[in-house]
Amino acid sequence: MKKSLGLWQFVGFTFAVVFGTLLHFLYGWVKTPTTAILSAVNESTWEHMKILFFPMLLFAVFQSFFFKKEFPTFWRIKLVGTLVGVLSIPILFYTVGGAFGKTPDWLNIAFFFFSAAGGYLIETWLFCRESTVQSGKLWPLIIFILIGLLFVLFTLFPPKLPLFQDPITGKYGI
């Protein structure tokens, strides 16, 4: 499996950016509570973080069926990679936006792709350096669940903070 790790990670990256891009538009196409929970309901940075989180998590669940025996710290590595990817979005957006002002749409799209790539590159690096020492298997899954719940909660009840504000409409949430 280690020989095909790069291919798996490339497939994961491709899945995350394609599915994430679909999630960007899904709520505009189908306005239901289910689509609101999983897809972007506005153009806020928070919603863009969400549309990377859920595809990375979904691919990790699929990949776990093939990898978790070979990599005892699979979920810990996937959590780190997902956090790197998701947290890179606001870091890039606010750093570049703060330095240069409003960022063009093409650059915001590039931030999404760079963030996904960064998450999968970190995962690949960690998988290649993984030790066989077992660590707590449950806590990364608990953290994934808590983050997922936060995405749902703050989509439905967003705090009045810039991270959650749609820069186009000035509104929060749905």
Tokens of 66: 């093939």
**Would 169 be classed as within a structural domain?**
no
**Would 80 be classed as within a structural domain?**
yes
**Would 174 be classed as within a structural domain?**
no
Which residues have CB under 8 Å from 95's CB, separation 6+? none
Q: 46 and 36 in contact (C-beta within 8 Å)?
A: no
Specify the number of domains making up the chain: 1
Residue 95 scores a pLDDT above 70: yes
Distance CA 118, CA 112 (A): 10
- pLDDT the model gives residue 1: 55
**Would 127 be classed as within a structural domain?**
yes
**Would 173 be classed as within a structural domain?**
no
Full residue range of the structural domain in which residue 143 is found? 2-164
Q: Taking residues 150-161, report their average pLDDT.
A: 95
Residue 132 scores a pLDDT above 70: no
- What is the pTM (predicted TM-score) of this model? 0.91
Contacts of 143-150 spanning 24+ positions with Cβ under 8 A: 143/79, 144/57, 144/75, 144/79, 144/82, 147/53, 147/86, 148/53, 148/54, 148/57
- pLDDT the model gives residue 101: 78
Tokens of 91: 């870091």
Instruction: For residue 162, give the 3-state DSSP assignment.
Output: helix
**Would 104 be classed as within a structural domain?**
yes
- Quick: pLDDT tens for 31-80: 999 999 999 999 999 999 999 999 999 999 999 999 878 888 899 999 99
**Would 143 be classed as within a structural domain?**
yes
**Would 58 be classed as within a structural domain?**
yes
